[in-house]
Amino acid sequence: MVTGAGGSIGSELVRQIMRFQPARILLVERAEFFLFEIHRELSSIVSSIEILPLIADIGDEPRIRQIFESYHPEVIFHAAAHKHVPMMESNTIEAVKNNMIATRTLGKLAGEFDATHFVLVSTDKAVNPTSIMGASKRVAEIIIQELDQTYSTNYVAVRFGNVLGSAGSVVPIFKDQIQNGGPVTVTDPKMTRYFMTIPEASQLVLQAGALGNGGEIFILDMGEPVRVLELAEDMIRLSGLVPYEDIDISFTGVRKGEKLFEELEISGENLEKTRHPKVFIGKIATFEKAEVASMLSAFQTAVNESDETKIRSLFNQFLSEASVYLNETPVQPIAETKKEKYFTQPSKLGLAEK
């Protein structure tokens, strides 16, 4: 079973899983069009594998239970999530419902129906989270570790950074802005991000799932962080244009919940090597079962009461490393600065060569 099977990561996971010839693959997705597209693609090239498109919301327990009762999936890759950082700042309750409560529902059913493996796709934004999205994914990791103490299923989480070309990522946004004549918008000239291609990220998620014994949070080697400004400049050059002359670049300011740089390790944790050179295990302390139960109960109450302020407070209360905004005051854009100060030399990304 792959949840979020129509998304950028979910659909690539499905394509790569197909190479291992499973008897049956369940495509779980609530967006009808994206489910139709991935099912049509796979059906046109593979005939020996049973491919079932299942429209379902992972937060709908009766529907998900019915799927488990009907098909008893052995391995679950959980890629369904709300992932857009600024959007989740204004949709706090939905982030909690989808990224946390629904993850608990899905994971619990996997354990009840004796699935062998459950792999949560997580994010570097779960490290020292400042955003609702990042904090909700950190709690999802905690949920997975707690479930691993309860059921015989092997539950693991896999953290990685931004994926080049995924829906909502900077590459397609920059491409559209360049085609429209600019300006290309960058939040801050100092902002850096880890980047990985969709196929590479999906391959490493599969590797981590195979390596896990249960309870691990795997961290992928994302290489060196990349300055988003350099990426924007490179994309303009690759379009045959000159940055700041043919296409302007404007700085809009860091948005609420965003960081200037992302982290893949929590301060003080040790990374343990695995058999794969790009997959590591983060030695991260687990929460007690009673703590997890208390936390989820408090979040559920806040969701039921539609209390977004309470939700923000709860993240900071239960996650010692979190610093989530407690108010709705927007972050002010940075002052306009001379562009020459931020003009960079052609970067070492190798994009031109590729």
Neighbour-count burial for 229-262, b at 16+ CB within 10 Å, e otherwise: bbbbbbbbbeeeeebeeebebebeebebbbbeeb
Question: By three-state DSSP, how is residue 152 classified?
Answer: coil
Among candidates 78, 136, 80, which has minimal Cα distance to 107?
Answer: 78
CB 177 within 8 A of CB 235: no
Neighbour-count burial for 341-352, b at 16+ CB within 10 Å, e otherwise: ebeeeebeeebe
- 88 burial (CB, 10 Å; 0-12 / 13-18 / 19+) is buried
Q: DSSP letters along 196-251, please?
A: EEHHHHHHHHHHHHHH--SS-EEEE---S-EEHHHHHHHHHHHTT--BTTTB-EEE
Active site positions, annotated: 125
**d(Cα 354, Cα 351) in Å, to the nearest integer?**
5
Among candidates 3, 345, 341, 19, which has minimal Cα distance to 190?
Answer: 341
Cα separation values, 221 from 75, 205, 256, 262, Å: 24, 12, 27, 13
CB 178 within 8 A of CB 241: yes
Query: Distance between the two ends of the chain, CA-based, in angstroms?
Result: 34
Packing angle of the helix pair 132-148, 289-304 (nearest 10 deg) = 140
Taking the CA of residue 87 as centre, how many other CA atoms within 13 Å lie in the half-sphere pointing to its CB? 8
Task: Give the gyration radius of the chain's Cα atoms.
Answer: 21
Taking the CA of residue 150 as centre, how many other CA atoms within 13 Å lie in the half-sphere pointing to its CB? 20
